[in-house]
């Protein structure tokens, strides 16, 4: 008990000393000190907010076999790593694009995630989409027609996600495998996807009363669907992961992740 009393006495003493000291300090100095403290706190907070707003994450997705993994390696290493890759795990990496490694000056690294199109792994998408600066939806331009329906359903799901619509995340429809002459053009693919999404729109709104899974609706009611009706910017481009012709993809990435 005695010890406790002593402690209290000591604390009270220090408190008095502290107060005396503060009184001795000219008020202007005190104000300046407080202002500096408040200013630095605000500065640190705003830097944090600013950083979070400027994401560098690019989500690469699309059906299995469209060529995402090959594109991922092309972006990172400038080679396709053919035959050594599997499609089960998401590839996830932060790097300076291979084509930019020879450039001088400070280049901002890009965070690229390759999210597989397996339906049981699509929950991964919900994890990555909210932090995405942009989305690349990879389409197999060679084997397009048999997969058109499935690709449209997947695309529909992405374009109606709350995280995508609210943040207006830009989306690139990347028609891959254009190294083969039998590949469909991006204009053709875009038109077919629009037609298919239009059909989906009708069927999904008919059943949505009981089973609401899509958070937002697409397009303008009564008008044929077109990607230009989306609140987020939807563009198309061509690429070949196999031969490394990915300049349009790299340009899209750089438009959305500033150096």
Ligand X SMILES: Nc1nc2c(ncn2[C@@H]2O[C@H](COP(=O)(O)OP(=O)(O)O)[C@@H](O)[C@H]2O)c(=O)[nH]1
- Looking at the DSSP bridge assignments, the partners of residue 97 are none
Question: Is residue 242 within the footprint of ligand X (CB under 6 A)?
Answer: yes
Report the site for ligand X in 105-164 (rule: CB under 6 A). Answer: none
Interface residue with ligand X, options 67, 90, 170, 219 (CB under 6 A): 67
Judged by CB under 5 A, the residue of 55, 65, 87, 148 near Mg ion is 87
Question: In the numeric block, which tokens belong to residue 210?
Answer: 């009981």
DSSP 183: P
# chain residues binding ligand X, by CB under 6 A: 17
Radius of gyration of the chain (CA): 27
Closest among 139, 94, 90 to 112, alpha carbons compared: 94
CA distance 93 to 112: 6
| Strand ranges inside 96-188, DSSP E | 110-114, 132-140, 171-176
Query: Which of 124, 132, 241, 249 is the binder for ligand X (CB under 6 A)?
Result: 241
Binding pattern for the stretch 171-190 against ligand X, x by CB under 6 A and - elsewhere: -----xx-xx----------
Applying CB under 5 A, among 69, 160, 214, 236 the residue interacting with Mg ion is 69
- 25 contacts which partner out of ligand X, Mg ion, none, CB within 5 to 8 A by kind? none
Q: Which residues bind Mg ion (CB under 5 A)?
A: 68-69, 87
């Amino acid at each position: 008990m005695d010890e406790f009393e002593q402690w209290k006495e000591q604390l009270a003493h220090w408190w008095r000393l502290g107060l005396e000291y503060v009184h001795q300090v000219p008020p202007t100095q005190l104000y300046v000190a407080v202002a500096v403290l408040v200013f630095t706190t605000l500065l640190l907070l705003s830097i944090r907010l600013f950083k979070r707003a400027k994401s560098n994450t690019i989500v690469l997705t699309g059906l299995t076999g469209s060529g995402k993994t090959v594109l991922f390696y092309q972006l990172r290493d400038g080679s396709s790593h053919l035959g050594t890759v599997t499609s089960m795990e998401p590839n996830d990496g932060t790097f300076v694009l291979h084509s930019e490694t020879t450039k001088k000056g400070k280049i901002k690294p890009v965070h690229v995630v390759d999210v597989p199109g397996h339906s049981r792994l699509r929950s991964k998408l919900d994890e990555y989409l909210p932090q995405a600066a942009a989305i690349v939806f990879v389409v197999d331009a060679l084997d397009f027609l048999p997969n058109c329906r499935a690709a449209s359903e997947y695309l529909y799901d992405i374009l109606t996600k709350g995280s995508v619509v609210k943040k207006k995340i830009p989306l690139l429809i990347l028609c891959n495998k254009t190294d083969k002459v039998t590949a469909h053009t991006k204009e053709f693919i875009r038109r077919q996807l629009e037609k298919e999404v239009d059909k989906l729109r009708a069927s999904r709104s008919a059943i949505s009363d009981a089973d609401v899974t899509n958070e937002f609706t697409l397009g303008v009611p009564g008008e044929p669907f077109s990607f230009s009706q989306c609140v987020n910017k939807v563009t198309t481009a061509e690429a070949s992961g196999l031969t490394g012709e990915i300049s349009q993809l790299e340009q899209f990435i750089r438009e959305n992740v500033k150096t």
